[in-house]
Structure formats: C-alpha cells, structure tokens
Structure 1
C-alpha cells in the first residue's frame, strides 16, 4: 500500500473509531418491572444538540462523552439522570410519578417550554418530502417524527397541569394533603376532555369524581407505593 493511501486509510479508521466511541447505547425500563419504555426523551445536558428518544423496545443511542450528564424524561415518570463514566451499554430505570402538592406547585410556576424554539432542527428533520426517500425511511427522520410527537404530548400534559391545579381543585372539594394528591392522580382529566369541555363542565366533572372517590373503599383511595429501587444502573 502506498504511504499516502495508508495515511488516508488510517485517518478514516481513527475518525470512525473516535466517532463510535462517542455513541452510548442502552435500554430504559420501568422501575421494579421488566417493562421496556418506548418514547422516552433523552438529552445531553452538556450538549443541547444531542437529543434522542427510545424506540419501541426501549432502546436508545446518543452521541455523548464521559463526564456528560444525560437527562431522561417521560410523561408520568420521575425524570432520571445518568452521569456518563464510560460507554458500556446502560440499563436505566424510571419510577412512576404521582402528583404531589409540591410538584403541582412547581408545575404551576415553571416557565413554558417551546420545543419549536428549543429544538427547531427536530421539526425540520421530521418533514416528509415525496421525492426524498430518506425523509420517509431514515432513522434520523423517524426519530425526529417521534420526538415531535413527544413534544406535542408534553405540551398537552402541561396544559392539563395548568388547568387541573391544586388551587382550583381545593376550591371545589374538601380534600387536603395525601387525600387530595390521591384524588388528583386517580381522576386527572385528559387533554382531549379539557379541549372539548368548558370550565363549567370541568367543575361538574370534579364534583362527580369527588363523589366517586368518596364512594370507594378506603384501600382503593390510596395509590400503590413505588418500588424501592436504587439509582440508575451503570
């Protein structure tokens, strides 16, 4: 092999190796179970451009570096973090989130999240062009479309948080403390319901739900305890 070709080949090999080393793979599971979690949003807290989402089998791949921190988010689950110490395959577990009074208060005051402004490249990559097969079938395009759906769902959940808040529910039902948390978790309305009903209908819904809640046996008004799992496995 001629020297110049050997040098080019070596450079390409090294570049490919470095690139491969920066790809972290893993799988996300529901805490305490063996259920794999699809559509979990993952972002590199040290590199805003590096984002991804788990596939239908809970698997993910993301470009990151040692020393970086990955954030895992999924509606209905407690956000988890992973400090990258190496690029060995990871198993991440996410615990179910209940609505606590503290969480609701934080939710009601947090700044709105505009995915279009934060991640405009996702919406660009998610577009489908009739004469571009890659826009239909490439992994990058498919992931972008799934991220777009995730952002839409997150926006809807935030709307529910804003409308179905502690202050409003407390003004209608005499529940407080843990009973209120349990009630709001068990009878949380859907985004579709809120969009198709006005404030008066929501008031009726909450009052009717309260009657159903009080009619339940005492053991049915409590939420199951979360499994005692450790921190994210590495």
Structure 2
C-alpha cells in the first residue's frame, strides 16, 4: 500500500478516534427514584450546535469537551446542569418541581423561540432522501428527526401558554391561588383544540371544565403525580 494512502487512513482513524473520545454518554433519572426519564432536552452551553434528547431508557450521548457545561431540561423538572470534568458515563438526577402556572405576557417585543433559526442543522439532518440510505437509518438522522418532533411539541405548548393564561382564566372562573393552579393543570386544553376552535369555544370549554372541576370530590381536585410514560418522540 502506498504511503500516501496509509497517511490518509491514519488521519481518518485519528479523526474518528478523537471524535469518539469527545462523546459523553449517560442516563437521566428522576431524583430519588430508579425511574429513567425519556425526552430530556440536553444542550451544550458552550456549543449551541451540540444538542440531543434522551431516549426511551433515559440514555443519551452528546459531543462535548471537558470544561463545558451541559444543560438538562424537561417539563415538570428543575433544569439541571453538569460541568464536564470527565467523559466517563454520567448519571443525571432531575428533581421534580411543583407545577407552577406559566403566565406569559404577550407584547410586540417578546421574542418567541424559533427552533428553525436556533437549530437549522437539525432540520437539514432530519430530511430523508430516497437515494441516501444514511438519511433513513443513521443514528444522526434518527436523532435529528426526534429533535424535530421535540421542537414541534415545544412550539405547540408555547402557543397553549400564550392563549390559556392566568389572567384570561381568572376573568371567567372565581378560582384563585392553588385551586386555580390545580384547575388550569387538570383542564389544560390541547394545541389541537385551540387550533381548531375560536375564542368563544375556549370560553365555553373553560366554563364547562369549571363545572366539572367543582363537581369533583375535594380530594380529586389536587394535582396528579407527574407521569413518566417511558415513550420517546420516535
């Protein structure tokens, strides 16, 4: 074999090895329990291009470096950070938080999250090309498609937050404090409902939901335990 080919092979091997050595793997758990958390959004605070989400079993792998900070986010849990001092497998434990109402003040200057602008490479990698098997089956492409679904879900939830606000609900029902929080969590409308109905329909929905809420036994008006479905965004 000619020397130049040997050099090329060695260079490729070195690059692959270096890349593999910069991958941090780990598992995300609910703190205090042996419950693995799927769909936890993970990003490198020092390199915005490096993002991923945990799989069905709470496992993740992300390209990073020592000295970087990883940020873990999931609805219903306190955001956690990991300062990378080693690339040894990590065990992340996320603490559940009291579900707080997310009242959003909508103004003309409020900048909404736009995943297409923030992470355009995800949408590029998620595309499927008929003559490119890697776009169908490679881990990178599959992860990109899962992230794309995650971003779509986040966008829909933000829309619900913008419409189903504390101020609006308070104007229709006499609930306040913890009772209001319980009501808005138990009867939070779906994005599909809001998309296919107008403001008048939402008013009717809230009033009907209030009647159902008040008809519940007092013990059933509290917030349910945070569910862990074990299903990822495949």
TM-score interval (norm. to shorter):
0.7 to 0.9
Quickly say closer, same or farther: Cα 1:199–1:97, change in 2 above 3 A: farther
**TM-score, normalised via structure 1 length:** 0.83
How far has the Cα of 1:106 moved from its partner? 5.4
1:106-154 Cα deviation digits (max 9, x unpaired): 5757630001111111111111000000000001110111110000000
User: Hey, what does 2:139 align to over in structure 1?
Assistant: 139
User: Hey, what does 1:21 align to over in structure 2?
Assistant: 21
User: Hey, what does 2:87 align to over in structure 1?
Assistant: 87
**TM-score, normalised via structure 2 length:** 0.83
Partner SS, residue 147 of structure 1: helix
Partner SS, residue 103 of structure 2: helix
Aligned ranges 1:22-61 → 2 under 5 Å: 22-61=22-61
User: Hey, what does 1:164 align to over in structure 2?
Assistant: 164
CA distance in structure 2 between the aligned counterparts of 1:200 and 1:87, rounded to whole angstroms: 54
1:202-231 Cα deviation digits (max 9, x unpaired): 1111111111111222222122578xxxxx
Aligned residues of 2:104 and 2:161 also touching (Cα < 8 A): no
Which residue, 89, 96, 103 being the options, matches 1:105? 103
1:68-125 Cα deviation digits (max 9, x unpaired): 1111223444432222222121122334455424xx1357576300011111111111
User: Hey, what does 2:188 align to over in structure 1?
Assistant: 188
Aligned residues of 2:24 and 2:88 also touching (Cα < 8 A): yes
1:29-78 Cα deviation digits (max 9, x unpaired): 23444332222221101111111122222211001122211112234444
CA distance in structure 2 between the aligned counterparts of 1:132 and 1:17, rounded to whole angstroms: 25
Aligned residues of 1:67 and 1:83 also touching (Cα < 8 A): yes
CA distance in structure 2 between the aligned counterparts of 1:225 and 1:16, rounded to whole angstroms: 44
User: Hey, what does 2:129 align to over in structure 1?
Assistant: 129
How far has the Cα of 1:201 moved from its partner? 1.1
CA distance in structure 1 between the aligned counterparts of 2:42 and 2:21, rounded to whole angstroms: 18
Quickly say closer, same or farther: Cα 1:212–1:13, change in 2 above 3 A: same
Unaligned runs of 5+ in 1: 227-234
Q: CA RMSD in A?
A: 2.7
Aligned residues of 2:37 and 2:58 also touching (Cα < 8 A): yes
Quickly say closer, same or farther: Cα 1:126–1:166, change in 2 above 3 A: same
Quickly say closer, same or farther: Cα 1:122–1:8, change in 2 above 3 A: closer
CA distance in structure 2 between the aligned counterparts of 1:201 and 1:86, rounded to whole angstroms: 54
Aligned length: 222
CA distance in structure 1 between the aligned counterparts of 2:4 and 2:124, rounded to whole angstroms: 40
User: Hey, what does 1:229 align to over in structure 2?
Assistant: none
Partner SS, residue 141 of structure 2: helix
